[in-house]
Amino acid sequence: MRYLAPDTMEAAVAMLAEADGTSRILAGGTDVLVQMTSGLVVPDLVVDIKHIAGTNEITEEDGGYRIGAAVPSAAMNEHAGLKALWPGVVEAADLIGSTQIQGRATIAGNLCNASPAADSVPALFAANATARVVGAGGTRDVPVTDIPTGVGRTSLAPTDIIQSIYLPARPSGSGDAYQRFIPRTEMDIAVVGVGVSLTLDAGGTCTAARVALGAVAETAFLLEGAEEILVGSSLDDATLERLAGAASAACKPIDDKRGTKEFRIKVAGVLARRVTKIAAERARGN
């Protein structure tokens, strides 16, 4: 195995382009290293992108925030501005593994690892985030919702590297939230995860809504119809019950060591309702 630590994106892309065999991009490494030590992946090349300028930074941009691909979730949690604007995304990133893992794990890595249960992904979906991707053909911005395509699969080419994730500006009266269900209080993979982003008008009526679900299908997904259910409502109990029903209905989960199908379907609805309430509360405060 070779380990390379380039200092520009272009060099990194070129290394990947020239490499034979299996390559892995290394940011926090909390997934890549587990795959390597367990023997699941035996890479011939590891490209460490942490030495590339900007990958370790969170910068304000057009009222939103650009989060470098190597920024650990702990750093997101320490960033007051980001936390105020996108608390749901930050709390989702803050749920990835232990304190130790949060010192390394990145949301870009969480996205690229393409686990259906990745905690930050439903929150990013709900936030309508975009990924800046550098590849052989140059740089492009891709909605995060277009990136995961299946369990462990993405739409990215082998030479594509996510450089940063952009969380947009948002109108006042907005709030987001993420919760997952796990059997313990920490250290588990989500059995169900729900991210919600809302905007309310001054009267408390919902004007925009995105709801995303994780761990209940092959990839995280945006809940279709959530907008129709929520927008125009005051998020009353009946509306939230309809949302819960829609969330449960949209699940296509599996039975596994982490939970049964029935359990995931039911809890997806429960969380959709609970998380929407939290997001609404935050929106009312903004």
Partner 1 sequence: MAEINRLTKDSGFKVVGTRPPRPDGIDKVTGKAKFGADMFAPGMLVGKILRSPHPHAKIRSIDASRAEALHGVKAVVTAADFAEKVPRSHQATLHNIMAHGKALYEGHAVAAVAAIDNATAKKALSLIEVDYEPLPFVIDVEDAIAEDAPLVHEGMITRGMDPKPEKPSNIESACEFGHGDLDAGFAAADIVLEREFRTEASHQGYIEPHACLANYSDDGNSELWCCTQGHFLVRDTTAPLLGIPVSKLRVTASEIGGGFGGKTVIYLEPVALALSRKSGRPVKMVMTRDEVFRATGPTSSSYMNVKIGITKDGRITAADALLFYQSGCYGGFIAQLGAMSAFACYGLDAVRSRGREVVTNRPMQASYRAPGAPIINFAVESLLDELAREINMDPIEFRLKNAAREGDRSSYGPVYDQIGMVRTLETARDHPHYSSPVPAGQGRGVAAGFWFNFGGLTAISLNVNSDGTVTVSVGRPDIGGSRAAMCQMAAEELGIPYENVRCIIADTSSLGFNDTTDGSRTTFANGLAIIEAARAAIKNMCGRAAKMWGIPEDAVAWEDGCAKPSGPNAGDFDPMPISEIARKAPNTGGPIAGHYEVNADGAGVSFGVHIADVSVDAETGRTTVHRYTVVQDAGKAVHPSYVEGQYQGGAVQGIGWALNEGYFYGKDGKMENPGFLDYRMPVASDLPMIEAAIIEIPNKGHPYGVRGVGETSIVPPLATIGNAIRSATGVRMTEVPMSPPALLAQLDGFKQAAE
Partner 2 sequence: MSRLQVNTTINGDEIDFLCDPGETLLDVLRNHLGLTGAKEGCGSGDCGACTVNLDGRIVCSCLVLAAEAEGSKIETIEGMADGAELHPLQRKFIEHAALQCGICTPGFLIASKALLERNPDPTETEVRYWLAGNLCRCTGYDKIVRAVMDAAAEMRAS
C-beta of 195 vs 259, nearer to partner 1: 259
Q: How far is the CB of 268 from partner 1 (least distance, A)?
A: 11
Question: Does 50 contact partner 1 by CB under 8 A?
Answer: no
C-beta of 48 vs 176, nearer to partner 2: 48
- Near partner 2 by CB under 8 A: residue from 25, 26, 194, 198: 26
C-beta of 41 vs 270, nearer to partner 1: 270
Distance CA 94, CA 66 (A): 17
Q: Which stretch binds partner 2 (CB under 8 A): 12-20, 94-102, 154-162, 248-256?
A: 94-102
Tokens 């209905």 found at: 249
- Near partner 1 by CB under 8 A: residue from 15, 189, 215, 243: 189
Residue-by-residue DSSP string for 232-258: TS---HHHHHHHHHHHHHH-----BTT
Question: Does 270 contact partner 1 by CB under 8 A?
Answer: yes
Residue-by-residue DSSP string for 153-220: EES--TT-EEEEEEE----TTEEEEEEEE-SSSSS---SEEEEEEEEE-TTS-EEEEEEEEESSSSS-
Could you report how far apart the first and last alpha carbons of the chain are, in Å? Answer: 50
Neighbours of 196 (CB within 10 A): 35
Q: How far is the CB of 256 from partner 1 (least distance, A)?
A: 7
Which H or E run includes 35? helix 32-38
Question: Does 187 contact partner 2 by CB under 8 A?
Answer: yes
Question: Does 275 contact partner 2 by CB under 8 A?
Answer: no
- Near partner 1 by CB under 8 A: residue from 5, 6, 188, 277: 188
Q: Which stretch binds partner 1 (CB under 8 A): 77-85, 109-117, 129-137, 261-269?
A: 261-269
Which candidate, 225, 124, 123, 127, places its Cα nearest to that of 170?
A: 127
Question: Does 100 contact partner 2 by CB under 8 A?
Answer: yes
In 3-state terms, what secondary structure has residue 45? strand
C-beta of 13 vs 46, nearer to partner 1: 46
Question: Does 109 contact partner 2 by CB under 8 A?
Answer: no
Residues contacting partner 1: total by CB under 8 A: 21
**Chain residues 52-81 in contact with partner 2, contact rule CB under 8 A:** 72, 74
C-beta of 37 vs 285, nearer to partner 2: 37
Which candidate, 149, 161, 120, 145, places its Cα nearest to that of 23?
A: 161
Question: Does 185 contact partner 1 by CB under 8 A?
Answer: yes
Task: Spell 87-104 as b/e; 16+ CB within 10 A means b.
Answer: bbbbbbbbbbbeeebbeb
Instruction: Give the binding site for partner 1 (CB under 8 A).
Output: 38-39, 181, 183-189, 191, 256-260, 262-263, 266-267, 270
